[in-house]
Chains A and B, each alone.
Chain A
């Protein structure tokens, strides 16, 4: 039982030329996203894009926790915690939303860190299972809040942030972009490198003077802050919250977004979320069959692209130079 979940793999090599292409591509996508509402108006497309932004932040912050070697299966629980914290503070206490939303992030960070502290002695599989039960417990506690949280019937009447969907769209674009940039800076900072060292070998990391449990608690706190923040924004956007929408299934889907894109690279969760949230939502008439589409995408990625979608160009390059197929490393 020593094969724990694998958090990070070595990043794919990137050359200088491809970096410039990437910057141009990102700028292009951003420009399209900025001017999109002018053409589309407050349509269904904007709603789907808002959901995509929300889950991108969730998936990226999940991956940030995994770079320390902790496969946390509780992410939707903390998203729900943030959503309920902000929604309840705004509804019952009447606090202004611009206070409750950051406060929800801090609440999620605080509770995440408090829970992570005793959990930092669990490793690999046991950490994954412990965090799974932790996410379930959070939602069970929220569901047992009777009239305070609305129980399984849900919390309704949460005050909105804006009136129009277009304002929401820009708000989520800014929040999403800021969170992703912050998490990117975090991962490639000194702390991020330390976390990767802990993931590779916690014994070696401890031997050079790294306080392992402190860093592991820190990264859980950071991940929970961002997911709590975006959860709070989601609550004020949706205006109705139900414990069901933050259950184990949602956590598993957030993990799937990260795995489909490729958990070994920063862009992976973003690409995975776009594939699994954006594309299936345009199936139109076939709405009931959507989960089939997602399931088939998962199977294709698992069988053919071991590194996720991000690894696809690398695999194609390998095929050209060495003659190995896309799935050539399926049977090592």
Chain B
């Protein structure tokens, strides 16, 4: 019984951490560029595979491969901003097309290359910590604490650094920020790089705890869309609270309602909330 409770609690926290990391990255891009980045799930999936390939194929140490992946995917974010988002700024239809194309190309490539194998990123620290009724894997503990650390760093970045302040200024008023000498292109590129890097961190964590699959991004993207819309577009604080709630719902509900019904119940709850509060819980406009 205790074992099960501990297991559920860690599941909730890990899932919430992954959702919050993804959701924050998504919200960065959404707030600055007004782009619903449907390729975010593909970026998340690619990061998991890239880290796996670094560790198993290239034989790089875990602790080097992880930051290397994050930096690489951050660069991918700059590329995405320059060539996929900037030419179509304000055009929802064409941005959607490009995002779907990127998703299709990345997931097909991974599917053809490694899709037939059941693989996961090898454990960072193998083994179990704690005495039996209160035990959990080292990896889960590590992921929980490093996510918390990264999230604190991100909030410091947004609220304390020059770039973060400029980001907030642009998401409040683009023209006003430009008049103050803020370069939109540089800040948008930074936001995309940070957003994709956060997705990469989430992807590596998800790949270490669950299995890698070329289509793992699709389901996570759906959850992230729910998270961002429910939290309210333009709100960073809301993402933390909603992320915890969603982690609890999606990790806890299957304990109460078995099988596919739990997904259906969760989605219906989301629609009801959206109808009552169209701007989300913490949205401002």
Contacts and interface: CB of A to CB of B under 8 A. Distances in A.
B104 A140 contact: no
A219 interface: no
A298 B87 contact: no
How many B residues are at the interface, by size bracket?
A: 35 or more
B100 A252 contact: yes
A151 B260 contact: yes
A255 B96 contact: yes
A211 B91 CA distance: 29
B118 interface: no
Interface string B210-240: 0000000010001001100100011000000
Contacts of A71: 92
Interface stretch (A191-199, A300-308, A312-320): A300-308
A298 B100 contact: yes
A122 interface: yes
B275 interface: yes
A118 B275 contact: yes
Given A5-B93, A132-B225, A249-B218, A256 B100 contact: yes
A134 B271 contact: yes
A296 B100 CA distance: 11
A144 interface: yes
Prevailing SS type, chain B contact patch: helix
A31 to B, nearest CB: 33
B108 interface: yes
Nearest to B94: A302
Contacts of A140: 260, 263-264, 267
B278 A121 contact: yes
A143 B260 contact: yes
Contacts of B112: 288-289
A143 B258 CA distance: 12
Interface in B79-121: 87-88, 90-94, 96-98, 100-102, 104-105, 107-109, 112
A143 B226 CA distance: 20
Given A136-B222, A263-B93, A129 B274 contact: yes
Interface string B109-149: 10010000000000000000000000000000000000000
Nearest to B268: A137
B14 to A, nearest CB: 23
Contacts of B90: 3
Nearest to B109: A292
Interface string A177-193: 00000000000000000
A248 interface: yes
B92 A122 contact: no
Contacts of B102: 295
A325 interface: no
A134 B260 CA distance: 16
Contacts of A330: 87
B225 A129 contact: yes
B281 to A, nearest CB: 14
A119 interface: yes
B4 interface: no
Contact of B92 (A6, A133, A143, A296): A6
A302 B274 contact: no
B101 A298 contact: yes
A46 B267 CA distance: 38
A125 interface: yes
Contact of B274 (A126, A141, A144, A252): A126
A331 B86 CA distance: 10
Contacts of A249: 218
12 contacts: A71-B92, A122-B278, A125-B233, A133-B274, A136-B222, A137-B267, A144-B264, A151-B260, A248-B218, A248-B222, A295-B108, A302-B101
Interface of A: 1, 3-6, 71, 118-119, 121-122, 125-126, 129-130, 132-134, 136-137, 140-141, 143-144, 146, 151-152, 248-249, 252, 255-256, 259-260, 263, 288-289, 291-292, 294-296, 298-299, 301-303, 306, 330-331
Question: Which 5 pairs between the two chains have the least Cβ-Cβ distance?
Answer: A140-B264, A298-B101, A144-B261, A5-B92, A144-B260
Given A144-B259, A289-B112, 15 more contacts: A1-B285, A122-B274, A125-B233, A129-B225, A129-B274, A133-B226, A133-B270, A133-B271, A137-B271, A140-B260, A151-B259, A152-B260, A292-B108, A302-B101, A306-B94
